[in-house]
Structure formats: structure tokens, C-alpha cells
Chain A
Amino acid sequence: MATTTPTKTQNLVGRRVRRQEDPRLITGTATYVEDIKMPGMLYAVIVRSPHAAARIRGLDTAAAAQAPGVQAVFTGVDVEGVGPVPCAAALPGLRVPKHTILASHRVYYVGHPVVVVVATDRYLARDAAERIEIDYDPLPAVSDPEKALAPGAPPVHPEWPDNVAFTSHTEGGDLKQAFATADLIVKQRILSQRLIPMAMETRGVVAEWRAGEKHLTIYSSTQIPHLMRTQVALMLGIPENHLRVVAPEVGGGFGSKLNVYAEEALMGFIAMRVNKPIKWIESRRENFQVTIHGRGHVDYAELSAKKDGTITGLKIKIIQDQGAYHQLLGPLMPALSVLMMPGIYNFHNVEADIVGVFTNAAPTDAYRGAGRPEATHVIERMVDILAAELKMDPAEIRLKNFPSSDAFPFKTATGLFYDSGNYAAPLRRAMDLLDYSSAREEQREARSQGRYLGIGVSTYGEICAFGPSPATPAGGWESATVRIEPTGRVTILTGASPHGQGQETSFAQLAADALGVGLDDVVVLHGDTSVVQYGIGTFGSRATAVGGTAVYLALQDLRVKCLRYAAHLLGVQPEQVDFEGGVFSSSRIANNISIKEVAQEAHVCRNLPPGLEPGLVATRFFEPANFAFPFGAHLAMVEVDQDTGETKILRYIAVDDCGKVINPLLVDGQVHGGVAQGLGQAMLEEAVYDDYGQLVTGELMSYAIPKAQHVPEIECERTETPSPVNPLGVKGVGEAGTIGCSPALVNAVVDALSPLGIRHVDMPMTPQKVWRLMSERKPA
């Protein structure tokens, strides 16, 4: 695929510009938390509970404290002064267990931190950790959310014996009427299994305390440095402006680093206590056990319709597995699912109930898609089940139920306003790419030979570009400062915190176009609270739509100021100045002046225009008036091995609409990665706890993530419906692939197996599971 080597005069927005970030990532020269080394640095190893539920009867740290190299040992009692791990979800009636940074009397899940050992190197710390003796009194545990709700289940938190963390009820329209007048109602239980986000870089924290300045610096592999600074300062009881949080290179997050964990405050506490820098790097096993998990939904759905396929209403009950504690946004995940449960269909009657359930398991929270994959999976499965019941084609029933493209903004039954859309366009394009009618013909032919060929249709909509502040727990705006340095170089400081999305490139493209500079003239700084003005962070497919817009606005301000400056220097009126290719000129005079010369003048200030201040800095904040709502169609063609239940993906087509595109190469990359993770959920991944609360898929030998060999060629195209919510017209694409993918694959497998009367398969669709379903249905 072609890439562009830009020159200064090119319009870069819209081009496949290679990532500015890649050379350092590919050559292994980027700086991650683990690469930070400081003189006198100590290392921490955390001793964690092997039990899912137990009382701590006794704790003996004496032998560890005496071990070679050990500088300190801390237990729950020592850190009682540190505030709890925060949850920002302010739901009415939410039960919030006190989430201390170390357990003191009781543990609630496998991996619960109990003791931290600090030594001069990580090997000695690890050796000493083996000398910690903890006397546990194991208790019955429950890790399955439906079992946790059953009468007599072991209470996760004794103060709430029903294990209910919260409930909520949402209504829109008149579902009773819709159900009473429906020709049919289809019902299905649908599982969105627990997943492990599995960033390639595990979490890690370095903390450095400067006692004289009373200043703490925390380096953390995080998506939200500013929010973390506020929260950790509160936890530690230090002034926020005495804390600096730095997110260095972050090797993947997918939501798992959209959080404030115990370890940031814990390392800050230790650095202040021992007065030396300290490092903790999460092991892969810890990452499995204690970093948040995603999904964990059981959904009971009912969809009502008319005989002609017109959908009239949806009733949904979500049982959300919260795990043992609430992390930052956990309880909001099923609420996001409810918002998007109607999908992109034109019906207005919805009732939704959520039960959040405590279990003896790792907390669940945002994982790529965060509530929307679950919602999309349910509605896209239900539409297919309805189509099968009515013997309608799954593409046809969707086309019948889309709102027309002139119905936007489209008000949904859950109270959202979809900003813009043309839902039929990507589906029709995807059907053309597949050659849908030939594919159906091929399927008929295969079936006549007894082969199980299936075509899966998924048309998703998602809510992203988070978002209007009143609809978010900690502000939905974003910030940007753009500076033109005296030499004409451009520095962009964004409040977003990119960690793989490529905004060092896409924001530089915006700057290059606005100011006529080269890509290499631009540096994008992010992720350091001492360098960058306050911002919210990167998650929810928001960084370009919200953060990019703030950058765009600041660039426009600077461009205007430069133009006024140039006009003054050229001796003409601003409206008489043209700006192209980085050069200001006027048809009235022969002289011209480059933006680099203007930059120099604006800093030496020998000829300051009246009414202008020196310097070339602009700071803008952008508060979006609405979310943006990308959409698209994913089609999958699969063949299921009738002997073994193995699924082969023959074609995968993704036609996405994420509004205007700044860099198609970045968008393709996001779709590819998203589809791979959606495929992981559909085919391979599941965090399985046993009846004792042990995570039995607790390592990469047993938890299957998609590898290159598992991912088919993804045929990627786009339609382009600009968003009216921001001046760039962009919507967001970070999560689209994950959201569109899993229903496409499951619908394809179910379609393949439909001759056996199978109408649903839960994820992951492992060969064994599919084989058992086939074996039950096959005539003996």
C-alpha cells in the first residue's frame, strides 16, 4: 500500500502518512517505564493472595525483613493512611467496598495485594518475598456472577450478602405496548465472556521523591496521567501541584491503563517513606490476575417485531460481573451497553435492567469497546435470530430497519442523538465486496454437499469521542497548547495521552497543513503533567475528535496571529495577505515573508504590531456538544469443519464509517487491531475462574490471544459521513473493529450451523464447544 513522503506544500490531512512514532518503536529505542533507571533505585515485589477468599489470621514478615538486600517491608497496617483506590462512577445506590491499597484482614480475589517487599534489586526482592509467611483461613468463594446471585451463595463482601453491587432500570418509549402488539418476540441468553486486555507491556510504576522540594514524580504506564495525578495526590494526601505524573512510552492499554490502581499510590508511599526511587514492574501473571478484566456480561434479551421484519422493541437484562471491587469506571460499563443496546435500528421502545454483581475475581472495567461490544453483540445476534425466525435474509432485515439517512440527528430510545449516519451505505458496499448473492449461491452449493459454510452480517454503531462533560464522570473536554518556537519549529502539547494510536503523526499533519511547516518540524508532546496543561486522556475513541479539535483550534488561532504579524511586517492589511506553503505574501507588494521569519520576529520583538502580544503560543480547550457515532458493516464468511468443529475464516470484510479521515493508514491499523481483538473474543479468549475462584486461564499457555496465523486478511474499506460535532468532521475509530467483529463471526458460524437447527453459539467458539453443539443436533 502506498505511503506518502510529504513535502511542505502538500495537503497532508487525508494522506497515508507513515507514523512518526514507528522508528523508535521498531528499533527498540523507545523509553518505557522499565527503561527508567535512577541512582539508588530500589525494587518492589508484591506478595499477593493465592486464595479467592480468606481471612488473614496472621502475618510474619520478620524473616523477609532480614533477607539480603531488603530495605523495607510494608503491610496493610502500614498503609492505612493512604486513601482507597478510587471509583469515579457515581451511580445511585452503588455499593462501594473500601478498596485499600493492601489487604489487612481479608482477601477477596486471587492476586489481592497483601505485602510489599522492597530490596536493592528485583531478584533479592523476589527471593525475600518467599520468606513472607501469611496464615490464611480460606473461605468459600464465588466467581460466577449468576451463581453469586443465587440464594445461599458465599457473600463476597459480608456486609452485602446478596452480592448485588447495584441495580438500575432504564425505559424509553412503551415496551409493553410494543410487546403486546408484536407478531413475534424472540428471546436469547447471550454471554459476553470475561476477557483479559493483555497489553504487550504490562503495567509498571517508578516513583521518585525529592524530600527537599516535597515533590513526588510518578512514572506510570497509563492512559490518563492528569486524572491519575489528581487521584493519587488525594490518595497520598499531598498537594496536587507537588505531584508530577509521567506516562512514558506506553506499550498498549486497550482500557486496562485507563485506571488508577493500588500500585501507583503504593509506590509513591514507599518512595516517600524510604526516600529513594522505587520501581515496580508487573509480571505477566500479575497482569492476568489483577489488572482489570473486560466484558463479563450475561444478557437476557427479548426482541419484538412485526411479521414483515419491522423491529418494535427490545427488553434486556444485564448481569454484569463486577469482580471483587470497583475500579475507576467499572460500574459504568453496563450503562454504556444499555445506551447502545438499540444499535442502529429505527425502533423506540426499550426496557433495560442491570444487576452489577460482586464476585471473587479481578475487577472488570473498560476494555477496548467498553460496553459497546457487549451491546452490539446482543442486538446483532438478536436481529439475526429474528431474521432466522422470519426466514428473512439478515442483510435485508437490517436494511429494512435502518433509519433513513435524512433522519439525523436521530433520537434513540435510550435518549441519545446519533450525530450523522448513512447506515445502508457501508452494508451495501460490504455486500458488493463480498459479492453477496454469489456467496449465498456458494453456500447453497456447499450445503448440498453437507458442508457448513456461513455468512455473518454485523452492522454496528458506536458511541465515541467522549464526550460532553455532563455525560462523563471526570470531564469530557480536551486541551491543546501549540507553540511556534523562535526557529519556526512547532510544538504541540496535547492533553490526550496517545499510546499507540498515532497522534504524534496525525496531529503533526494538522499542524503541517495549518502552518505550512514540514512534518519533521513538529513535535507532539503528551503524557507529562509538568509539561502539558491539564487534559483528560486517551480512551473511548476520543483523542482525535476531542483532542485533535483542540489542536486544530489552537492552530487556527496561531495562524491568525502569524498572519496579523506578517501583514504588519509586510506593511499591508491582514485581509490583503495570502498564506500558502508556509509563506505570507500579498498581491500588492513584491515582498513576502516565511512563517519561520515571522516566528523569529515574534520572539525578538523589534517590530511588535500594535495590539499583539509577543510570542506565538495558543491554548484551546474543546468541549464537544455531543458524542460522535461511527458505524459500519462487517461481513465474515466461514466454514465450520463438520468433524472437529474448527472454524476457518474464508473472507473478512470491514467497511467502516468514522467520519472524515486524517490518516487512512492509521485508520486501517486501528481497524486491523480492533478486528484481531474482536476475533480473539469470538474465537479464542476467555478468562475462566473455577469454583474456588482460581483463574485457570492465568497464563499465555492457556489463555489464547490471536496471533498472526489466526487472523485472516482483512478487506478494509470506508464510507465517509462527516460528524457535525467537531470542525474536523471526525468520529473516532479506535474501538470500531472490536465492536463490529464479534457479531460478524458468531453470526457467520451460526449461519453455517443453521441447517442443524442451531441458532446461537456463545463465545469463544472453540472447536470443542462447536463440536458438542453439532453432536447434540446431528442425527445419530
Chain B
Amino acid sequence: MIAQQFDYSAPESVSEALSLLSSQKGSRLLAGGQSLIPMMKLRLSTPARLIDLGRIAELHYIAEVNGSVRIGAMSTHNQLETSETLHRKCPLLAEAAGRIGDVQVRNLGTIGGSLSHADPAADYPAALLAVQAQVRLVRQGGERTVSIGNFLVDAFTTALEPGEILYEVIVPVDQTGLSSAYLKFQQPASGFAVVGVAAQVAVQGGNFSVARVGITGVGSASYRATAVEKALEGRPATTATIEAASRLATQGVEALSDLYAAADYRAHAACIYTRRALGAALSRAK
């Protein structure tokens, strides 16, 4: 449990961090340290230098700007969980943030760190997929904005290029009439999701007019359960519709298997939790 020697820098601006990042090979960005530090202590990760983003004030914010909520990468899970803005504009994301790990993890861990680490059982991706969020990535002399679906490539793999930093998460505020719920089956040891389901629905004239479902923990990457969504939209907003649609929660997805939950059980739990998350979202719509 003793890390290898490494250099340490604590820049105070993103531009300084970007220049450090491109100046030394083997540098890694340190956000909240909730995954990277344990990996370093086990020597599974041996960076030559850590660039600590903790002192960069410009990465700490949650603000509504021009019809979207912008969340600085260094915002902690606790800040999302307790954000007034999010509770009003995107309660699903606040709810998911509140289910991450435990109090200590939520006080230190950050949304940028979590997304960049891309653990396949992390909570945020389910919610961010459901709300169709984007992430803004910056590099020296440029930036780009990609959808969360394109950002999360696979387990522990993102679209981040060398030299890029995840700057902020952009959540569209188009929530009129939408109601949502995040339900999580928590692995009791790790606190990660065996299954996490983020559901967002709107009902018009007794039918589901919008249905978006993001699922984490089940496959090698979080995904939008489009088969479920298709089976809901335009159909009567009833438990029977939800029941039938939820059976499609893992369609086209190969479920992960481990000691705690084998693939068949995990897939089964995904369907159950999808049903319950949709049921909770629907009940909040009423």
C-alpha cells in the first residue's frame, strides 16, 4: 500500500495545467483521488507526475448559463447532490450524485474525475446519458464538445486524447414536464452499482411522450436502453407498459459477471431496477 515515487505539481489555472500535461510524459491528472490514489498505492498505476487540479478555482462551479447547467469538472459529488440549481433544473443528476459511494467519497470525489476514470459501474453515466449531457474537453490551443455517449468509449476508456482535460459537463435544461428517478443496487463492498438505472419520462394525454433510460453497472460501458425507450414512447403510461418495456433493459448488452453478481443475475436485476426506476419516475410525474 505504498506508492512509487512521483513528482507533484499543483497548478492554479487550466492553461498552466495543460502546459504541464504536455511537457512531461507519464503525467496524470489528479482530481478527487478516489480511484487514482488507491491504484497508485497498489502500484497498479505508477505515474511519473501528478498534476493536482484541486487548486484551480475556475473548475469549481455549478451554474445555469443560456438554457443549460454547466458543471465544472472539479465539482464534488456532494456539491452536485446538494446543488439548488440541479435540484431545480436536473434533479436526476443530483439524485445520482447522492448515491455515489459514501459521505467521505462524495466529499472528495469529483464529477470530472469520475467521468475521466470511466468505471463501468459509476453512477453519473446513467444519469448523464438519460439527460443527454455533453462534456467540454480543452487542450492547448483548442477545445471540443462531445456527447456523453461518445465520450464514454468502454470500461476505463474515454474519448480524451493525450493533452486534453475534461473542463465541464453541460446538462441541457429542457426538463419541462419531465420527471425522473435514479435507482441503484449497490455492491455493499465497493459502493459501486451492480445495477444503476436513471429514468426520465414525460406523459402527455395518458401516453409516454418522452422516455429516456440510462443504465450503468451492467455492461462494459453505461448505455442508453433504447429498446426500453422505444417500447414506452407513445404507449399508455401504465405499469403494464413499463413491465413489458423493462424486460428489454439488457437487449444487445453482454452483462458483466463477478463473484457478487453473475451475468444472469445482473441482467435480471437490471430489468427489475429499470421497472422500478420507471415506476418511480412515473409516480413523480403524477
Residues of chain A touching chain B, judged by Cβ–Cβ distance below 8 Å, are: 45, 122-123, 126-127, 283-285, 643-644, 646, 684, 688, 696-697, 700-705, 707, 709-710, 766-768, 771-772
Nearest-CB residue, chain B, relative to A683: B188
Indicate if the CB atoms of B265 and A700 lie closer than 8 Å: no
A-B contact pairs, 26 of them (CB 8 A): A123-B2, A123-B5, A127-B5, A285-B1, A285-B42, A643-B272, A644-B268, A644-B269, A644-B272, A684-B189, A700-B189, A701-B190, A702-B189, A702-B190, A702-B260, A703-B189, A704-B187, A704-B188, A704-B189, A707-B102, A767-B185, A768-B261, A768-B262, A768-B265, A771-B265, A771-B268
Nearest-CB residue, chain B, relative to A769: B265
B214-227 vs A, Cβ < 8 Å mask (1 yes, 0 no): 00000000000000
| B259 in contact (CB, < 8 A) | yes
A643 to B243, CA, bound (A): 13
Q: Which residues on the A side are within 8 Å of B259 (C-beta)? A: 688, 696-697, 702
Indicate if the CB atoms of A772 and B265 lie closer than 8 Å: yes
A370 to B259, CA, bound (A): 27
Looking at chain B's contact residues, the main secondary structure is loop
Residues of chain B touching chain A, judged by Cβ–Cβ distance below 8 Å, are: 1-5, 42, 102, 185, 187-190, 259-262, 265, 268-269, 272
Nearest-CB residue, chain B, relative to A130: B43
Indicate if the CB atoms of A710 and B268 lie closer than 8 Å: no
Nearest-CB residue, chain B, relative to A688: B259
Nearest-CB residue, chain B, relative to A285: B1
Q: Which residues on the B side are within 8 Å of A703 (C-beta)? A: 189
Q: Which residues on the B side are within 8 Å of A707 (C-beta)? A: 102, 188
Q: Which residues on the B side are within 8 Å of A704 (C-beta)? A: 187-189
Q: How many A-B residue pairs have CB under 8 A?
A: 51
Q: Which residues on the A side are within 8 Å of B187 (C-beta)? A: 704
Indicate if the CB atoms of B4 and A127 lie closer than 8 Å: yes
A45 to B4, CA, bound (A): 14
Q: Which residues on the B side are within 8 Å of A771 (C-beta)? A: 265, 268
The 6 closest A-B pairs by CB, nearest first: A704-B189, A704-B188, A283-B1, A126-B2, A701-B190, A643-B272
A192 to B1, CA, bound (A): 30
- In the complex, given contacts A283-B1, A644-B269, A771-B265, what are 7 additional A-B residue pairs having Cβ atoms less than 8 angstroms apart? A643-B272, A684-B188, A697-B189, A697-B259, A702-B259, A704-B187, A704-B189
Indicate if the CB atoms of B189 and A701 lie closer than 8 Å: yes
Q: Which residues on the B side are within 8 Å of A126 (C-beta)? A: 2
Q: Given A126-B2, A127-B4, is A768 in contact with B260 using a C-beta cutoff of 8 Å?
A: yes
Q: Which residues on the A side are within 8 Å of B2 (C-beta)? A: 45, 122-123, 126, 283
A283 to B1, CA, bound (A): 6
Tell which of A127, A284, A709 touches B1, judged by Cβ atoms closer than 8 Å: A284
A242 to B211, CA, bound (A): 76
A332 to B206, CA, bound (A): 69
Q: Which residues on the A side are within 8 Å of B4 (C-beta)? A: 127
Q: Which residues on the A side are within 8 Å of B3 (C-beta)? A: 123
- Nearest CB of A to B276, in Å: 9
Q: Which residues on the B side are within 8 Å of A646 (C-beta)? A: 185
Indicate if the CB atoms of A710 and B188 lie closer than 8 Å: yes
Q: Given A122-B2, A285-B1, A704-B188, is A766 in contact with B260 using a C-beta cutoff of 8 Å?
A: yes
Most A CB within 10 A of own CB, among B188, B262, B272: B188
Nearest-CB residue, chain B, relative to A122: B2
Q: Which residues on the B side are within 8 Å of A767 (C-beta)? A: 185, 269
Nearest-CB residue, chain B, relative to A646: B185
A772 to B265, CA, bound (A): 8
- Nearest CB of B to A637, in Å: 21
Nearest-CB residue, chain B, relative to A129: B2
Most B CB within 10 A of own CB, among A45, A697, A766, A768: A768
Q: Which residues on the B side are within 8 Å of A127 (C-beta)? A: 4-5
Tell which of A284, A644, A709 touches B185, judged by Cβ atoms closer than 8 Å: A644
Q: Which residues on the B side are within 8 Å of A705 (C-beta)? A: 189
A588 to B265, CA, bound (A): 84
Q: Which residues on the A side are within 8 Å of B272 (C-beta)? A: 643-644
Nearest-CB residue, chain A, relative to B189: A704
Nearest-CB residue, chain A, relative to B185: A644
A704 to B187, CA, bound (A): 8
A773 to B193, CA, bound (A): 23
A702 to B261, CA, bound (A): 12
Q: Which residues on the B side are within 8 Å of A123 (C-beta)? A: 2-3, 5
Q: Which residues on the A side are within 8 Å of B189 (C-beta)? A: 684, 697, 700-705
Q: Which residues on the A side are within 8 Å of B185 (C-beta)? A: 644, 646, 767
A688 to B260, CA, bound (A): 11
Most B CB within 10 A of own CB, among A644, A646, A700: A644
A744 to B268, CA, bound (A): 29
- Nearest CB of B to A770, in Å: 11
Nearest-CB residue, chain B, relative to A708: B102
A696 to B262, CA, bound (A): 15
Nearest-CB residue, chain A, relative to B102: A707
A644 to B269, CA, bound (A): 6
A766 to B266, CA, bound (A): 13
Q: Which residues on the B side are within 8 Å of A122 (C-beta)? A: 2
- Nearest CB of B to A294, in Å: 18
A230 to B262, CA, bound (A): 50
Q: Which residues on the A side are within 8 Å of B260 (C-beta)? A: 702, 766, 768
A122 to B1, CA, bound (A): 10
Nearest-CB residue, chain A, relative to B188: A704
A663 to B2, CA, bound (A): 42
Nearest-CB residue, chain B, relative to A701: B190
Most A CB within 10 A of own CB, among B1, B4, B42: B1
Nearest-CB residue, chain B, relative to A123: B2
A473 to B261, CA, bound (A): 44
A704 to B102, CA, bound (A): 14
- Nearest CB of A to B258, in Å: 8
Q: Which residues on the B side are within 8 Å of A284 (C-beta)? A: 1
Q: Which residues on the B side are within 8 Å of A696 (C-beta)? A: 259
Most A CB within 10 A of own CB, among B2, B262, B269, B272: B2
